[in-house]
């Protein structure tokens, strides 16, 4: 019985020694994941802002084109 207890305790100690570096690795990976996720979210946010800006520019450009087209149409009508 004592021998069994000693063997089990020794195995527990061995497992504990193996767990320690694994715990550190896990924490390091979690930190890296959080940093990568934060960077990803920031870039995604930037992309959304750029897309919004692009849509505004295209809309403004289209509005200007329509205005010029209407002016041209009025000019043509006034010539007739």
CA angle 41/45/48 to nearest 5° reads 140
How many other C-beta atoms can be found within 10 angstroms of the C-beta atom of residue 58?
10
Residue 80 pLDDT class (50, 70, 90 cuts): confident
Q: For the chain, how many structural domains are there in total?
A: 1
Q: pLDDT tens for residues 23-63?
A: 999 999 999 999 999 999 999 999 999 999 999 999 999 99
At 76, list the tokens: 């043509």
Separation CA 2–CA 10 (nearest Å): 12
At 75, list the tokens: 């000019």
Separation CA 71–CA 66 (nearest Å): 9
Domain that holds residue 66: 1-79
């Amino acid at each position: 019985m004592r021998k069994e207890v000693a063997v089990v305790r020794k195995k527990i100690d061995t497992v504990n020694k193996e767990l320690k570096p694994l715990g550190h690795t896990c924490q390091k990976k979690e930190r890296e994941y959080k940093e990568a996720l934060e960077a990803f979210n920031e870039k995604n946010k930037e992309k959304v802002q750029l897309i919004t800006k692009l849509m505004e520019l295209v809309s403004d450009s289209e509005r200007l084109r329509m205005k010029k087209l209407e002016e041209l149409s009025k000019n043509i009508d006034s010539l007739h």
